[in-house]
Amino acid sequence: MHRGASVVVNTAARNQTGVARYGGTLARTLAELERQLVVLWVINRQRDSLELLHIFGQTFPDTVTHVVRNGYFGKPDKFTLYQESQLRQSIETKGRSLDFPDLADRVADELRSQRISIRKAAETMHIGQRAELFRWRELCDAMFSEVIGVDRTAREQ
């Protein structure tokens, strides 16, 4: 087995039915697997993302959860529902509140419309778009390094 390897599961927050149905099984199995579940929960400024996070936390009460404010929806001070909530205080007893940077529309649109990876875009986009992509990627690296303890800027990108 690859005990030291990370496993990434990317699922939509609306997958609450699956979490409710199978989450308890996973939670009970983590110790036997000698694994820790660490969650990065992306929120927008609407109440539903917080309500789903609260329900998720009831299924996984011992999980380290980091809330990621999606910068697409505004600066951190715009996330007042989360900022003023008891949920934030609860999250920050074990996890952190992080800010995922917004990417300029012209670059985000190009990534989506051309269906290219960030790595490929860094090689093929025009210089202005690449500059924005590199700026965004450095901010992402800094944000993720807060929770995974790795400074990617020191490594070859």
Per-residue pLDDT tens for 99-153?
999 999 999 999 999 999 999 999 999 999 999 999 999 999 999 999 986 444 4
The answer to whether the beta carbons of residues 35 and 75 sit under 8 Å apart is no
Locate 45 and state its tokens: 């400024």
CATH code for the domain in which residue 34 is found = 3.40.1380
Report pLDDT for 93.
95
Pair 87, 150 in one domain: no
Same domain for 133 and 144: yes
More confident residue, 18 or 2: 18
Contact 75, 48 (CB under 8 A): no
Task: Indicate whether 38 and 4 sit together in one domain.
Answer: yes
Total domains in the fold of the chain: 2
Q: What is the pLDDT of residues 36-64, one digit of tens each?
A: 889 999 999 999 999 999 999 998 888 89
pLDDT for res 122 = 96
Domain of 50?
1-100
Where are the strands (E) in the chain, listed by range? 38-43, 64-70, 97-100
pTM of the model: 0.85
